Each structure stands twice: as C-alpha cells, then as structure tokens.
Amino acid sequence: MNSLVEGEGRETERAPLRGDDVERSGLARAVFLDRDGTLSEDVGYARDVMAYRLFPWTIPALRALRRAGYRVIVITNQSGVARGYFTEELVRQVHHRFESELRRYGAQWDAIYYCPHHPEGAVMAYRQVCACRKPATGLVERAQREFALDLRRCVFVGDKYSDIQLAHRVGARGVLVLTGHGREQWARSRREGWSPPDHVAENLWEAVRWILRHGNEAERGATP
C-alpha cells in the first residue's frame, strides 16, 4: 500500500480500482465499513495490538468489493482515546497491522477515518461533541469530497445502529451485521421500534454478497 497521510484521524491511499467505479455521473460509489465487530473481532478497549484480529471472511469480502468497482472506506469510533484507555498511536498501529495482513493476501481498503472523541472523555483534549463521531456525518462528508462519491450509490455496513443511522442520514443504504454487537442491536431495535436497516446479514461476507446482488440499485430503499 502507499504511504499513509495522517490528519484528524485519517489514514488513506488511492489505488486504482478494477471495475466500473465511476459512471456517467462522474461520481464513484463506495462501501463504508465499521471496524470493530464488522471487519474485526470486537475486543473492547484492548491495549495490545496483537489482540486485534480480522474476521476470516474480511479479506475475501474486501477483494470482492474492489473487483466490483467499489471504494472501500472504513469509518470507526475510537472513543478509547478520549476515555484514556489507549493513545492514537495504538489506533494507528492496529491499522498498520491490519493493512499488512490485507496486503499479504491481496486485499486493501482505500481509506480509514477514525474519531477519537467522546463528549464525556477523561482526556480533555478529546473531550468534545464533535462532527466526526458516528452517527454524525463529518467523516462521511470528508470522504465524499476526497473520493468524489455519490452517497446515494453507497452502502454502509456495521454492527451498531449508529452505522444504520449514519447511512440513512446521508441518503445511503445501511446493512446491519449480526457479528459484534449486531445480534443484540437487532433484537433491541425490534423491541423498541427503531427504523429498520435495508438489510440484515449474518456477517460481512453475507453483507457483501447482498451488496453485489443489488449493486445497480442506486438509492436507499430500492431493494427489499
């Protein structure tokens, strides 16, 4: 992968896509992925880089999305920084480790954006109400500018309802995966009558299969 560019919780590269990533509108499509519980096991606020592990289906899922012409963009809340459990340096080390593993097996993401803030954080520098903590739209808007995205053609995948809320706020489709916190969130959503996701999948691989089947459906709600 190319060298990382840091800035306000952003790490990115721009590699060429295989497939039709830009249509006549001139805008690209992307799949926005949550990290913990979606791409990787949710290990809580672990301080050991080696505790973080990708799910076995993550690599084939990312390869399939890239082959189909999607940008792959990771957006993750990392409030452990604000809470004082670990530093931004550990977050970056985890991302470097994941990137190395992806590269080894011929997979990659285009960018990863993270929010280190929390309104009740113990570290004052990160204690704030920000525009980047999901389901706020700040990081998505930044990705939209930097990758020239048509958000109506994008899909968000995550194990929490903040991912689904974020998708619907920007006019995209949202897929809830049942890994991580997903099963608990799905059960709670039905009890409390939350707005449903566009699809519920067992894991990221099943979510990607659904996305690829419905890839030509441009707008949220266009598929059952």
What pLDDT was estimated at residue 217?
Answer: 57
Share of the chain above pLDDT 90, in %: 83
For the entire predicted model, the pTM comes to 0.88
**Residue of 21, 34, 110, 198 marked active site:** 34
**Cβ proximity of 101 and 109 under 8 Å:** no
The mean per-residue pLDDT over the stretch 202-214 comes to: 97
Measured CA to CA, the distance from residue 135 to residue 45 in angstroms comes to 20
Residue 171 sits at φ, ψ, to 5 deg, of: 80, 20
User: CA distances (Å), 160 to each of 43, 85, 143, 175, 185, in order?
Assistant: 15, 21, 20, 10, 6
Q: What is the mean pLDDT of the chain?
A: 89
Q: Is it true that the peptide bond before 135 is cis, omega within 30 degrees of 0?
A: yes
What pLDDT was estimated at residue 6?
Answer: 33
pLDDT digits (tens, 9 = 90+) for 71-125: 999 999 999 999 999 999 999 999 999 999 999 999 999 999 999 999 999 999 9
With cut-offs at 50, 70 and 90, classify the pLDDT of residue 170.
Answer: very high
SS3 label, residue 102: helix
The mean per-residue pLDDT over the stretch 47-56 comes to: 97
The mean per-residue pLDDT over the stretch 37-50 comes to: 97
198 among known catalytic residues:
no
**Residue of 36, 110, 150, 163 marked active site:** 36
Bridge-based pairing of strands 30-33 and 111-115 is: unpaired
What the chain holds in terms of domains, given with CATH numbers, is 10-17+24-213 (3.40.50.1000)
| Residue listed under structure tokens 């809340």 | 77
For the beta carbon of residue 114, count every other beta carbon within 10 angstroms: 25
What pLDDT was estimated at residue 125?
Answer: 97
Structure tokens at 44: 């809580």
pLDDT above 70 for 129: yes
pLDDT digits (tens, 9 = 90+) for 3-36: 233 334 545 445 555 444 445 456 899 999 999 9
What pLDDT was estimated at residue 203?
Answer: 98
| Residue listed under structure tokens 């897929």 | 175
What pLDDT was estimated at residue 16?
Answer: 53
What pLDDT was estimated at residue 3?
Answer: 28
With cut-offs at 50, 70 and 90, classify the pLDDT of residue 48.
Answer: very high
